[in-house]
Amino acid sequence: MAEITASQVKELRERTGAGMMECKKALVANDGDVQTAAEWLRKQGLAKADKKADRVAAEGRVVAAQADGKAVLVEINSETDFVAKDDNFLNFTDAVAQAALHAADIDALKSTKLASGDTVEEARAAIVAKVGENLQVRRMARIDSANTVAAYVHGGRIGVLVEIKGGDADLARGLAMHVAAMNPPHISPAHVPAEFIAKEKEIALAQVKDTGKPAEILEKMIAGKLAKTVNELCLTGQPYVLDTNQSVEQVLKAAGAEVVSFARLAVGEGIEKQADDFASEVMKQAGLA
């Protein structure tokens, strides 16, 4: 039996869209032959057609689930917003969210069984056959904690998990709404990388060095610029969306709470979308172009 390498599994996954475990199983069953394994997967109903795998899936839905101290977000992509609203897709994504409560990461999730008895990957392949689009279970985020955790999804497009120590469920949900709206990269100034601060300080110095002001004044100007930049990047430094007269830091202090962690997923984030010329596509299919 040929030894199955990680590169073979990666190639088969990219080619078929099937899960890691299914790809490995297919390669083992076909003596490491990627082409034969791809055909085997198709026959098993675990892979979509090659032409669908090449399509960009940048629409879709973020779903959340929460139970027994666990909270998860999953981004599941489709090619079009039309399919993202289809009942088959919606039912599939809801089932995947529940399954994600029992999966450590995205690869484990694809191998997790749904209530139907199918794995997430098998169910995804079946939905692909029904709706005729490339669908991908792209990524997930999870928080396992005894602290207060809120899961919030805005319009099916943006999902947020927020974990706080102290405070209550209402505060956690309000903070999750804030993160959804403002998308802060960091919790507080202490979480901002030192190299970023050093670079911003260098830029601020270049901006003020020729003003002719005394060194001590320049230092204050630079410190002010840095503080403004860092606060804009941090959850705690931003005006709280539910009460813009207060910063998030002030709201947390009043509640005797602190943010431990948060995660945010937005549909299609980081995916290069195709700009389709639908008129040209129709003419092409009709043999007029």
- Using the predicted structure, report yes or no on whether residue 289 has a pLDDT greater than 60: no
Mean local confidence (pLDDT), 194-205: 85
For the chain, helix, strand, coil in percent to 5 are 50, 20, 30
Mean local confidence (pLDDT), 90-96: 97
Distance between CA atoms of residues 267 and 265, nearest Å: 7
- Percent of residues, the chain, with pLDDT higher than 70: 88
Q: How many CA atoms lie within 13 A of 58 on its CB side?
A: 12
Amino acid at 198: A
User: What are the DSSP E strand ranges found in the chain?
Assistant: 59-67, 70-78, 136-144, 148-154, 158-165, 239-240, 243-247, 258-266
Mean local confidence (pLDDT), 24-31: 90
3 state SS of 245: strand
In the block, tokens 């979509």 appear at: 48
Name which of 38-52, 98-112, 227-241 the model is least confident about.
38-52
Dihedral angle sign, alpha carbons of residues 206, 210, 215, 217: negative
For the chain, give the mean pLDDT. Answer: 87
The pLDDT assigned to 275 comes to: 46
Q: What DSSP assignment string belongs to 16-59?
A: H---HHHHHHHHHHTTT-HHHHHHHHHHHT-S--HHHHTS---E
The pLDDT assigned to 197 comes to: 87
* Residues 239-259 pLDDT 10s: 999 999 999 999 999 999 999
Confirm if 95 and 115 have CB atoms less than 8 A apart: yes
The pLDDT assigned to 23 comes to: 86
The pLDDT assigned to 214 comes to: 79
Name which of 98-112, 175-189, 195-209 the model is least confident about.
195-209
* Residues 30-68 pLDDT 10s: 999 998 988 887 666 544 444 455 567 789 999 999 999
- Percent of residues, the chain, with pLDDT higher than 90: 55
Regarding predicted confidence, which is higher, 6 or 286?
A: 6
Q: Residue 1 — pLDDT band, cuts 50, 70, 90?
A: low
Confirm if 123 and 114 have CB atoms less than 8 A apart: yes
The pLDDT assigned to 157 comes to: 96
Domains parsed from the chain with CATH numbers: 6-47 (1.10.8.10), 53-144 (3.30.479.20)
The pLDDT assigned to 278 comes to: 46
